[in-house]
Amino acid sequence: MSIEVHNLHQHYGETRAIDGVCMKLPDSAQVLALIGPSGGGKSTFLRLIGGIETPTSGTVIVDNQELPKEEEGLLDYRKSNGFLFQAFNLFPHLSALDNIILPLTEVHGWSRHKAEERAHEVVKRFYLEKHLEKHPGQLSGGQQQRIALARAVAHEPALLLLDEPTSALDPEMKAGVLDLIKELCDAGQRIVLSTHEMGFARQSADHVVFLAEGEILEEGKAEELFEASREPKVTQFLDRVMKW
């Protein structure tokens, strides 16, 4: 995938969440992992790449197209992508099945019949067939996140954006969701994710960006950054979080 950012800034009052970031992702990269300390700018950077927010200044270019600044153009761009955030964001009054169907019919204009067929297809892939008629409150955290992931990929997004997709899960549920994401990576889905799961980022990502205090301290191929970081702050961080 092709992603470029030029002199990107995102300010919230006096807070500089993203502060002059520049990056050009190699076209050969399929999975980009954003890592670094909490509050370093990972989620904000992800939302800017996904067009969820417009930057204070600077440009984002995806697949050789600069992201529009106006809302109408951003809506079209968002429709082409899939999103999964820390909160599951499922509609509590709808069944798991209808949580997947609703965006397909209301956002993407699919017929109810086509949307139901696709929903059943992705739910089977994610081993959730027995839970289709349940509401979110009747599902475990891991099941809710898998339904949210099924919803995000149901329309076959050009780009899948994952913001700390396992942060609210216990270890067993986390492992199940990571396994599904790894399957998507292996199947060729283009993914940008922010994560604290260093082992997963090292194993699954082609390219890694380390963000801290709104700046990119280092970026490069996953194996090179994890095994031989050139930046002392990055080495110190990785030594600490991968110690156990």
How is residue 232 written in tokens?
Answer: 């002392």
Residue 69 pLDDT: 85
Same domain? For 99 and 126 the reply is yes
Query: What is the H or E stretch that residue 237 is in?
Result: helix 232-241
Same domain? For 164 and 231 the reply is yes
Residue 34 pLDDT: 97
pLDDT tens-digit map of 92-105: 999 999 999 999 99
Residue 48 pLDDT: 96
pLDDT at 244 > cutoff 70: no
- 30: left (phi > 0), else alpha (psi -120 to 50), else beta? alpha
Residue 180 pLDDT: 86
Residue 10 pLDDT: 97
Bridge partners of 137, per DSSP, are: none
At residue 66 the predicted structure's pLDDT band, cuts being 50, 70 and 90, is: very high
Question: Burial, 116: exposed, middle or buried (Cβ in 10 Å; 0-12, 13-18, 19+)?
Answer: middle
Same domain? For 24 and 101 the reply is no
204-218: average pLDDT:
95
pLDDT at 156 > cutoff 90: yes
Question: Burial, 132: exposed, middle or buried (Cβ in 10 Å; 0-12, 13-18, 19+)?
Answer: middle
pLDDT at 87 > cutoff 80: no
Same domain? For 151 and 163 the reply is no
What are the residues whose beta carbons fall under 8 Å from the beta carbon of 29, sequence distance 6 or more? 1, 206, 207
pLDDT at 179 > cutoff 90: no
- Measured distance CA(96)–CA(123) in Å, rounded: 9
At residue 90 the predicted structure's pLDDT band, cuts being 50, 70 and 90, is: very high
| Rounded (10°) CA dihedral 91, 92, 95, 100 | 20
Same domain? For 115 and 1 the reply is no
Same domain? For 1 and 25 the reply is yes
Same domain? For 94 and 67 the reply is no
CB atoms inside a 10 Å sphere around CB 180: 19
Range of the domain at 100: 81-157
pLDDT at 214 > cutoff 80: yes
Query: Would you list the DSSP string of 185-221?
Result: HHTT--EEEE-S-HHHHHHH-SEEEEEETTEEEEEEE
At residue 169 the predicted structure's pLDDT band, cuts being 50, 70 and 90, is: confident
Residue 182 pLDDT: 87
Residue 135 pLDDT: 95
Same domain? For 150 and 174 the reply is no
pLDDT tens-digit map of 75-85: 999 999 999 98
Which range, of 106-120, 131-145, 171-185, averages the lowest pLDDT? 171-185
Same domain? For 213 and 244 the reply is yes
CB 134 within 8 A of CB 95: yes
- Measured distance CA(92)–CA(90) in Å, rounded: 6
C-alpha 227 chain-centroid distance: 24
User: Average pLDDT of the chain?
Assistant: 92
pLDDT tens-digit map of 125-139: 888 889 999 999 999
Same domain? For 177 and 151 the reply is no
Same domain? For 134 and 168 the reply is no
How long a stretch of residues is the chain? 244
Number of domains in the chain: 2
What are the residues whose beta carbons fall under 8 Å from the beta carbon of 150, sequence distance 6 or more? 100, 119, 122, 123, 125, 126, 128
Bridge partners of 177, per DSSP, are: none
Helix (H, G, I), strand (E, B) or coil at 229: coil
- Measured distance CA(118)–CA(102) in Å, rounded: 12
What CATH number should be reported for the domain holding residue 44?
A: 3.40.50.300
Same domain? For 124 and 194 the reply is no
